[in-house]
Structure 1
Amino acid sequence: MTDEYTAHHLQVLEGLEAVRKRPGMYIGSTDSRGLMHCLWEIIDNSVDEALGGYGTRIDVLLRTDGSVEVRDTARGIPVDIEPRTGLSGVEVVFTKLHAGGKFGSGSYTSSGGLHGVGASVVNALSARLDVEVDRDGKTWAMSFHRGEPGTFDGQGPDAPFTPFRAASRLTAVGKVKKGVTGTRIRYWADPQIFTKDAEFGVTELEQRMRQTAFLVPGLEMAIRDERDATADPIEQAFRFDGGISEFAEYLAVDPPVTDTWRLTGSGSFTETVPVLQPSGTMIPTEVERRCEVDIALRWGTGYDTVSRSFVNIIATPKGGTHQQGFEQGLVKAIRAQIDQNARKLKVGTAKVEKDDMLAGLTVVLTVRLPEPQFEGQTKEVLGTPAVRQIVSNVVNTALTAQLTSTGRDDKVQAAQVLDKIVSEMKARISARAHKETQRRKNALESSSLPVKLVDCRSNDVSDSELFIVEGDSALGTAKLARHSEYQALLPIRGKILNVQKASVGDMLSNAECAAIIQSVGAGSGRSFDLSAARYGKIIMMSDADVDGAHIRTLLLTLFFRYMRPLIEDGRVFAAVPPLHRVIVIYPGSKPNETIYTYSEAELHALLAKLGKAGRRWQEPIQRYKGLGEMDAEQLATTTMDRSARTLRRVHVDDAESAARIFEMLMGSDVAPRRSFIVDSSDRLARDRIDA
């Protein structure tokens, strides 16, 4: 550092030097994320061709030597001479920043590439890049070393390289049949730029290719991973003709409330942009743009929101004006319909909010327009202002038409959606009311807790336990058996509502479900707040028979659907009450011994052991049909006393898999459940059936 600072200290980075000096500006980072971004740039160029109707297949090959190759069957990069530079089209695309056919020249009506830097940036950051183009009956080839055109004497990036001196040459290396076109690009990422641990993620690549295949119906995307030389290559291909409707069904994680609805439309707007004139000057010109909107959405029974948005098939994970327009149109259309049906839906004075409408919604939002404005080269946020109002108008118009359709199925689904949204609103208001109350209320204060809750005295959440007890008879015994300092009791009457089949409104209006949610005190659904839960353990204490198992299943369905964080945090348990009570008789004055068994197999093993030892036991052996048959001492000793009881913790290792199992076993669709029962009957332990 010196005090002197003159024009001699200024540097002008020419051509691709700027990319190599500041790669993060163009690809975000130089780790695996940046490496993948380079690959997306090459793939997206091929996808833009498919969007224009050229080419039906794109192949990506991960080679053993660390290179990656992208092949397509599109028109092929132009090989003729570009007049202003005097270079071939191939060299212009790969060596000149902001060069391409996506600047309003008419080659693309909509595309993901906008800035003309994708291929040239990848070339600049590659130790070697080879390109082959099938066009005009020939195969043309050219190679580059860190962005500089030339020839390699051998294979791989370490082969001797000779740059072109006088003029670059695009070489014809073969012939192809008439009409055959396409491009093959193979490159080796430069180790001087990328970190040592940067690598291509196959899972991420498969997800992106599957996503693209959904967005471009009829396009086949294939990947072949050859990097492990000791194993067979991993191959995967994706093609979906159903488009974004099929994409929405794939993304959905819950049973449907509606079919997948398609909302389509378009709108025009004008904007002033610099237009390149034949003379080479840029003149601000007012041009008319057309924005095409295509949306697939469906509501499900859950409360999670799954949203994907795209502009010209480029994902915009951080949203933008199109996402804002969708939400604006959604709110306007839904509120209008709820206002018209306020009396029927029993809305009252409350007002539905956006989050109520998004609960259980799966949506794929796509817009297509020429030259959209993005924030940065990574294109994560759409910035074109006019798109917001266009999308809002399309959503408002199309969704209103869907909700007011006179078709029989449409009317039923519209009613179910509005009822679900109103139920979400009521659940949100109820959860907020619960949250505003204190966790504990003493006898001098008012309480919103259920009347039948027998609460504990402790305010220490981590030490407290809530026993959900089956029946009032068991409650009476449990009151005497519990430790009132930290054990609370909530009786339920029989089998609660199967919430996998019921709507949110039915669940909230069910007395048993409402009592459980109130007692836990943390709300339900998307408004559930684990930190507000009033108990450290939730223990299901039901009879050791088939009915008790059914009640546990219904309770678990309620917890999994509406209070899942409790399970994920390991706070839900099942008590293990005994099935038999065996009194072993001792001779003389020695007191008899009481042994509890928890299954038929355990009982038979115990009796065999006692018989072998010459011991006698009291007949008949007591078999507990329910918790109410135990006295307080027996219940405390076997099920409630921390020093002697056994608890089974309920946990979820794979939430999506668990959701599918809950839907199959507890959902409305009977056929899959019947098939499961028939197929699994040979694995049934018949001695566990209480018959």
Structure 2
Amino acid sequence: MTAEYSAHHLQVLEGLEAVRKRPGMYIGSNGSPGLMHCLWEIIDNSVDEAVAGNGSKIDVILHPDGSVEVHDRGRGIPVDVEPRTGLTGVEVVFTKLHAGGKFGGGSYAASGGLHGVGASVVNALSERLDVEVDRGGKTYAMSFRRGEPGIFTDAGEKRRDAPFTPFQDNSELRVIGKAPRGVTGTRIRYWADRQIFTKDAAFQLAELETRARQTAFLVPGLELVVRDARASTAAEPQSGAEGEAAPGVTDAVNETSYHYEGGIAEFVEYLATDAPVTDTWRVQGEGTFKETVPVLQPDGHMVATEVERVCAVDIALRWGTGYDTSTRSFVNIIATPKGGTHQQGFEQELLKVLRAQVEQNARRLKAGSDKLEKDDVLAGLTAVLTVNVPEPQFEGQTKEVLGTPAVRTIVAQVVRKALGERFASTKRDDKNQASMLLDKIVAEMKARVSARAHKETQRRKNALESSSLPAKLVDCRSTDIAQTELFIVEGDSALGTAKHARTSEYQALLPIRGKILNVQKASVSDMLSNLECASIIQVIGAGSGRSFDLSTARYGKIILMSDADVDGAHIRTLLLTLFYRYMRPLIEDGRVFAAVPPLHRVIVMNPGSKPNETIYTYSEGELHTLLAKLRKQNKRWHEPIQRYKGLGEMDAEQLASTTMDRSGRLLRRVRMEDAEAAGRVFELLMGNEVAPRREFIIDSSDRLAREAIDA
């Protein structure tokens, strides 16, 4: 550092140097998310070709050497010379920032690639990149090393560390073979540069497959094949419900194909997990708007010109009996996870239309004077919103938020017209669905008002009382959150034993009476009015739902301690449902555990004055293995072997040594690797629909041995 600061301290980064110096500006980060973003840039270029009607199949291959290959059947990158630069189209696309065919030149009506930096950024951040183009009956090839064109001297299979010779005077687009007549397309294979990306950055197969499935839904008729050739991470075969093959998925172990014809309506059916209140409604329309943009003239100058744009809107939505909201928005097939003007227009108009309908039917619905809020309308909604806009304005290169202002009005107009026609329909089915929808929405509003009143009552109550914690809580003395543990125990009998078995310095106890409310089927108001649920939330002290604050939780571990029988398993499942629905951050942070009490107590008799040995086992299999071992050693044991039916059958010393003492206990951490998968499991096991649960039990019955049932 120096106090002097003059012009010679300034640096001008030319071409792709800026990308390598500040990769986060273009791809977000240099970890796995940035690595995946590079792959999205290449895939999206191929998808843009398919959307434009060129090619109906895209292959994505993860190679064992860390490279990735994308192969499409589009028109192929232009191979002729671009007149302004004197370079071939292939070299322009991969070496020049803000260069491409998506700046309004007529090649694409609407596309996800807007900035002309995707392919060149990937090239700049790759240790090696090879591109092959089938076009005009020939196969052209070009290679790059960290953005610089040249030739790799490979002997056999391509590799990232092959000798490289950069071009000195003029670059060359080589012709390496003949392409079959009528065959066009592009193949890109690249090795990410480890000088840029972190050591642990890796291609995430699950994320890639999710994105491929999503794109196949958004582009009906397009087939995306994901092939994982990496030996250590071969893809598991996927299956649909009840063990049958999922639609569009092959039987190959390391290859998955996604191909759907139903479009976003089928996407909504895939996303929805609850029983339907309405069918999947399709909302389609378009509108025009004018904007002034710089337009490139033939002489190379940019001139501000007013142009008319057409914005096409396509929405699929349905309401279900659940309470969660799943809304996915897209602009030109690009996901906008943080929304934007299109999602704002959709949600605002949805609220206006339904407010008007509730006001018109206020007497039948008994809605009172309360007004609908957005959360009431969105509860149980599954929607996929797509708009196609020429040259949309995004906030940032990562395209997570749409910023084009006029799109909000157009989406609102389309939603207003389509839903107005739906609610005005005289068809019996439409009228029944509209009626059930309004009933659901008004019920949500009433539940929200009731919950707010309950919350205000609770606040006033807590303000008047000296202590807001339930009297049945047996608290610990320590205030060190990292050390404290809350045991939720089943029944008063177990509580009595646990009081003597616990370490009172850092272990707290909260008894629950029987089976708590199944919150998967209940509303928020019902959950809050349930004494046991309210006590658990109150004792943990971090709130519930959207207001849950993990940093204010009073305990470092939450341990569910129930009996080792069917009822205990049911109670544990009900408790996990409560934590998943209303205190999910505790599970995500790995702070929820299930205690594992023993099933058997075997007292091994030792000869002479040597004291007998006590051994605990945790399953029937473990018990039989132990007994066989003792017989082999000619050792005897007390009969009958004690079988624990519940925690209350243990004395304090036994409970402490087997289940509560940190030095000898066994805990099972509750994890949630995939939130969507966890949600589907909870809906299957604890939801309103009985038929899928019955089928699951029947289909899974062969996994359970008859003799293992404790009856």
TM-score by length of 2: 0.72
Instruction: Give, in angstroms, the shift of residue 517 of structure 1.
Output: 7.7
Report the equivalent of 1:680: 701
Match of 2:163 among 150, 159, 162: 159
- Indicate the residue corresponding to 1:108 in structure 2: 108
- SS of the residue aligned with 1:438? helix
8 A contact 1:540–1:575 mirrored in 2: no
Range 679-688 or range 270-279, more displaced: 679-688
**Post-superposition CA distance 1:555-612 (Å, at most 9, x none):** 7756654566688886898999x9xxxxxxxxxxxxxxxxxxx999xxxxxxxxxxxx
CA separation of 1:439 and 1:85: change in aligned 2, threshold 3 A: same
- 3-state SS in 1 of match to 2:316: strand
Does 353-362 or 114-123 show the bigger shift? 353-362
Equivalents in 1 of 2:267, 2:305: separation in Å? 38
Render the CA deviation track for 1:205-230: whole Å, top value 9, x for unaligned: 23322222222222222223334489
Instruction: Name which of 388, 404, 415 aligns with 2:439.
Output: 415
Given the superposition, is the C-alpha separation of residues 640 and 41 from structure 1 closer, same or farther in structure 2, using an over 3 Å criterion?
same
User: Counterpart in 2 of 1:44?
Assistant: 44
What is the SS of the residue equivalent to 2:256? Answer: strand
Check if 1:268 corresponds to 2:288: yes
What are the superposed Cα offsets for residues 5-64 of structure 1, whole Å, 9 maximum, x if unpaired? 35x666554433443444443333444433333222222111110111111111122334
Task: Give the alignment of 1:396-435 within 5 angstroms.
Answer: 396-402=416-422, 406-435=430-459
1:294–1:567 Cα change, 3 Å:
same
* Matched AA of 1:213: A
Structure 1, residues 375-417: CA drift from partner, whole Å, max 9, x if none?
Answer: 2222222221112222233334434554565443443244224
Structure 2 CA distance, aligned partners of 1:520 and 1:211?
Answer: 38
Change (3 A) 1:238 1:159: same
Deviation of the 1:267 alpha carbon: 1.9
Q: State how far apart, in whole Å, the 2-side matches of 1:687 and 1:25 are.
A: 58
Alignment of 1:52-131 (within 5 A): 52-131=52-131
- Once residues 690 and 400 of structure 2 are traced to their aligned partners in structure 1, the CA distance between those partners, rounded to angstroms, is 43
Q: Which amino acid aligns with 1:5?
A: S
Letter in 2 for 1:73: R
Shift of 1:181: 0.7
Distance 1:460 1:30, change over 3 A: closer
* Deviations 1:503-540 (CA, angstroms, capped at 9, x unpaired): 55666788998898899987765456678899999999
Change (3 A) 1:96 1:2: same
- Deviations, residues 165-215 of structure 1 (Å, cap 9, x unaligned): 2x4433332222221111112233344444444433333323322222222
Question: SS at the partner of 2:462?
Answer: coil
1:456 touches 1:464 (CA, 8 Å); kept in 2? no
Aligned partner (choices 198, 203, 212) of residue 209 of structure 1: 212
**Higher Rg of the two aligned structures:** 1
For residues 72 and 478 of structure 1, the distance between their equivalents in structure 2, rounded to whole angstroms, comes to: 65
Q: Summarize the alignment of residues 597-616 of structure 1 with structure 2, pairs less than 5 Å apart.
A: none
Output the amino acid matched with 2:692. P
Matched-pair contact (CA < 8 Å) for 2:558–2:591: no
2:603 corresponds in structure 1 to none
- Tell me how far apart the structure 2 counterparts of residues 689 and 244 of structure 1 sit (CA, whole Å): 47
Q: Is the 8 A contact 1:102 1:114 kept in 2?
A: yes
Corresponding position of 2:608:
none
1:187 corresponds to which residue?
190
**Inter-partner Cα distance in structure 1 for 2:145 and 2:582:** 57
- Partners of 1:141 and 1:637 in 2: CA distance: 75
More divergent stretch after superposition (311-320 vs 647-656): 647-656
What residue is the counterpart of 2:625 in the other structure? none
Give distance in 2, aligned partners of 1:53 and 1:274.
Answer: 27
Relative to structure 1, is the Cα distance of residues 141 and 345 closer, same or farther in structure 2, using a 3 angstrom cutoff? same
Mind listing any 5+ residue stretches in structure 1 that lack a counterpart?
579-597, 601-612, 618-624, 628-634
Q: 1:333 to 1:436 in 2, by over 3 A?
A: farther
Secondary structure of the residue that 2:435 maps to in structure 1?
helix
Deviation at 1:371, TM superposition (A): 0.4
Conserved 8 A contact 1:566-1:572: no
Letter in 2 for 1:182: G
Residue of structure 2 in register with 1:364 after alignment: 384
SS state of the match for residue 130, structure 2? strand
* Deviation readout 1:465-499 (Å, 9 max, x if unpaired): 999998xxx99x999x999x99999997x987655
How many Å apart are 1:674 and its aligned residue? Answer: 3.0
Paired letter, 1:653: R
The 1-side partners of 2:393 and 2:358 are apart by 36
Q: Name which of structure 1's ranges 74-83 and 146-155 shifts more when overlaid on structure 2.
A: 146-155
2:333 matched residue in structure 1: 313
**Deviates most, 649-658 or 99-108:** 649-658
Encode CA deviations 1:390-448: one digit per residue, 9 max, x unaligned: 22333344345545654434432442244234424432443354245417726xx9x9x
CA contact (8 A) 2:556 2:591 kept: no
Distance 1:398 1:142 in 2: 50
2:671: which partner in 1?
Answer: 653
CA distance in 1, matches of 2:148, 2:533: 70
Aligned with 1:177: secondary structure?
coil
Q: Indicate if the aligned counterparts of 1:431 and 1:527 stay in contact, CA closer than 8 A.
A: no
Supply the distance in 2 between the matched residues of 1:457 and 1:223 (Cα, whole angstroms). 53
Unaligned runs of 5+ in 2: 236-252, 600-617, 621-635, 661-665
User: CA 1:681–1:129 in 2, change beyond 3 Å: closer, same or farther?
Assistant: closer
| AA partner of residue 458 (structure 2) | H
Change (3 A) 1:254 1:649: farther
Structure 2 CA distance for aligned equivalents of residues 311 and 509 of structure 1:
43
Aligned equivalents of 1:663 and 1:669: distance in 2? 8
Say if 1:347 and 1:31 are closer, same or farther in 2 by CA, change over 3 A: same
> How large is the Cα RMSD of the aligned pairs?
5.3
- Secondary structure in 2 aligned to 1:280? coil
Distance 1:174 1:495 in 2: 72
- Determine if contact 1:329/1:395 at 8 Å carries over to the other structure: yes
